[in-house]
Homo-oligomer: A and B are copies of this chain.
């Protein structure tokens, strides 16, 4: 399983499920999807009672020798790969460690010491190999990664993603201000520019067309960069046309800090705009406490938003107003934000997005904020695709899109009820009387990586249980 393995022309036969709009999940119990040897979807058929009959039509004469990957039975379906729009790969070993901290003390206590250890490329190799395996096993076919300030370690992450075939935006973290400890920051704004440029050049050299990995300019967040550094990053974005990612308005203390550090700016969001960092290729993580003017500015610049519900709950940042953002027309995806977030699973974050929306309802004594299962799955797939600029390529099953998909399989309860040790199929129990929408809901609310039995990116198998 590597990006260099050849792709066989394949027909994926069986139930498939994907979002067709924010509120609509298209569930097809008898599907057949043809994927060519470039990994591109060539046909999507519904109500296929017999594959033989389908292939006997003249328009399918080219597909007679195709490989068949089929799901049999009533407990499996194909689903688009998940897109993680905000994740810190080097923080993987800290997953689950945060105690009672909130953002600013969490950074000093847990994050900076861990990230600084990536000066050693051997550490980076071990952690990144493990983490890319983990995220693939959770069905993440695309990730927007924050790496560390180190060029070699960042390039290592890009190498691993390319080798394993996981689509990735890989960003060297840029941070040069006094907020960062002396042991872990760029020496100057110039050094920030040169190092980020070096990593961009490297990543573009290993994947010139950016088919799997692309660079992304990554000023950590306003408080960790001087104005000069932010300007350099804006310049680099303009020069290279690269994507940009950073954090915005995650935590109230952080917002106060930005106000104190950039007193001349109207708002946190305006800091980025002043330095030409709000582009239509910018991913802004969190966006929990934005005011209306900031949201309007983000809309105007066509920047995107990564909602990180698990993280926002775990480190008590707040509840991002996703209903409001969606109603206003923002482009929103989900991010695990490992290790502010305690799970590398986007499925867990689908649930967490739903829980956060319910807590907003509890706070406001109103149902308006409540996200449906369909909406949360849309954010995890099509929403995320739009956030990372891949909406034409991935996120759903249509002719012309590429086959980034996961095969989901749920557990089936025997007539006797099962016993100890019979749970290897994972945590979901299907009794046999469930409708297809019920089965999908069972997966969403009870499923985990055990249910993701195979994962493909651009038609290539990249994970298999």
Contacts and interface: CB of A to CB of B under 8 A. Distances in A.
Contacts of A420: 1, 133, 136-137, 463-464
Given A136-B420, A313-B355, A464-B421, A130 B96 contact: no
Contact of A129 (B96, B130, B417, B442): B417
A355 B418 contact: no
A134 B429 contact: yes
Contacts of A423: 133-134, 137, 449
A413 B313 contact: no
Contact of A429 (B92, B319, B362, B438): B92
Interface centre among A128, A421, A463 (most CB of B within 10 A): A421
A53 interface: no
Interface string A331-366: 000000000001100000001000100110111000
Contacts of A361: 316
Contacts of A413: 126, 130
Given A421-B465, A429-B95, A100 B446 contact: no
Contacts of A129: 416-419
A60 interface: no
A448 B427 contact: yes
A73 interface: no
Contact of A319 (B126, B362, B433, B464): B362
A422 interface: yes
A372 interface: yes
A97 interface: yes
Nearest to A136: B420
B445 A427 contact: no
Number of copies of chain A assembled together: 2
Contact of A363 (B342, B363, B367, B417): B363
Interface string A109-140: 00000000000000001111111011011000
B373 A99 contact: yes
A64 to B, nearest CB: 32
Contact of A96 (B93, B136, B442): B442
A416 B160 CA distance: 12
A127 B431 CA distance: 9
Interface in A385-403: none
A327 to B, nearest CB: 17
A418 B133 contact: yes
A253 B415 CA distance: 39
A413 B319 CA distance: 34
A359 B318 CA distance: 8
Given A133-B417, A355-B314, A359-B362, A96 B422 contact: no
Contacts of A382: none
Interface in A166-188: none
A130 B429 contact: yes
A45 interface: no
Contact of A417 (B125, B429, B444, B463): B125
A417 B130 contact: yes
A458 interface: no
A134 B312 CA distance: 30
Given A97-B438, A128-B417, A129-B416, 19 more contacts: A96-B442, A96-B444, A96-B446, A97-B442, A99-B372, A99-B441, A100-B372, A126-B415, A126-B416, A126-B417, A126-B431, A133-B418, A133-B419, A134-B423, A319-B362, A362-B363, A363-B363, A421-B465, A423-B449
6 contacts: A92-B429, A95-B446, A97-B441, A126-B416, A316-B358, A343-B446
- Give 6 closest A-B pairs by Cβ, nearest first: A129-B417, A96-B445, A130-B417, A342-B445, A96-B442, A126-B417
